[in-house]
Amino acid sequence: MNSISPQVIEDLRKLWSAIATKSHPPVRALVIASANPLVYCAGADIKAFTTMDETSGAQMVNDAHALFRELGSGQVATIAAVNGLAFGGGCELAMACDVRIAARSAVFGQPEIKLGIIPGFGGTQRLPRLIGAGRALEMNAMGDPILADEALDLGLVNRLVDDHELLDTALQWARKLAAQAPLALAAVKRIGSHPPGNLDDGIEAEKRAFADVFTSSDAREGISAFLGKRPPRFQGS
């Protein structure tokens, strides 16, 4: 069921660390998909939770939050290819990615309230940023799932495709995002995904980011490639 457990968090962390810091040539995009045709991620491993004390439980939550924050930042584009159930931590993992592509079979939900708890991996924060405070409160407080077409209408997912097209579509997005200038992509993610509440503060952040990327080697390469009518070769510098 791909349940979120300490071992799964550790495995994802090892994979992410290898991709984000050690890969040669550098990886520019990551697709997080499930090999289970019925389930993306059914949520947290509740049985594993019952074996943890306060210290180990807090460690797992902190580790998961740190990982999920990194998935949505930096120069590596992250794409959740969601099929089947994406409940609780599975929905939160998908929300931590830059974009979400859903199969028509996908079902999203934050059912933690029905266990007497609340989302623990960012569901109270990322969900309202994606779909608005009112609908996010409804999903978190009622705990009822929504189907893929409603998730698309709400803005929880970026694209809805037939089940057999899911992985191919996710890989197409990955290739396109991987071809973008890494510094510019990181800047767009940093200031655009969670913009400051004040427009003036947001504009100042954009001005600083524009100045940084405009003086980069990638910007010079992109402009030169455009004028030369050739594909750019971005290096992330």
Q: Which of 10, 112, 150, 206 is catalytic?
A: 112
CA distance 221 to 90: 39
Nearest-5° Cα angle at 20, 212 to 32: 115
Beta-ladder partners of 78: 30
Is residue 177 helix, strand or coil?
Answer: helix
Please give the backbone phi and psi of residue 81, each rounded to the nearest 5 degrees, phi first.
-100, 100
CA distance 78 to 136: 23
**Which amino acid belongs to residue 132?**
G
**Which amino acid belongs to residue 53?**
D
Give yes or no: 206 in active site.
no
Residue 4 DSSP symbol: B
Give yes or no: 54 in active site.
no
**Which amino acid belongs to residue 48?**
A
Residue burial 162-171, b: 16+ Cβ < 10 Å; e: rest: eeeebbebbb
- Name residue, tokens 């029905």: 114
Q: Which of 92, 150, 204, 206 is catalytic?
A: 92
Total Cβ atoms within 10 A of residue 151:
25
Is residue 65 helix, strand or coil?
Answer: helix
Which residue numbers are catalytic? Answer: 92, 112
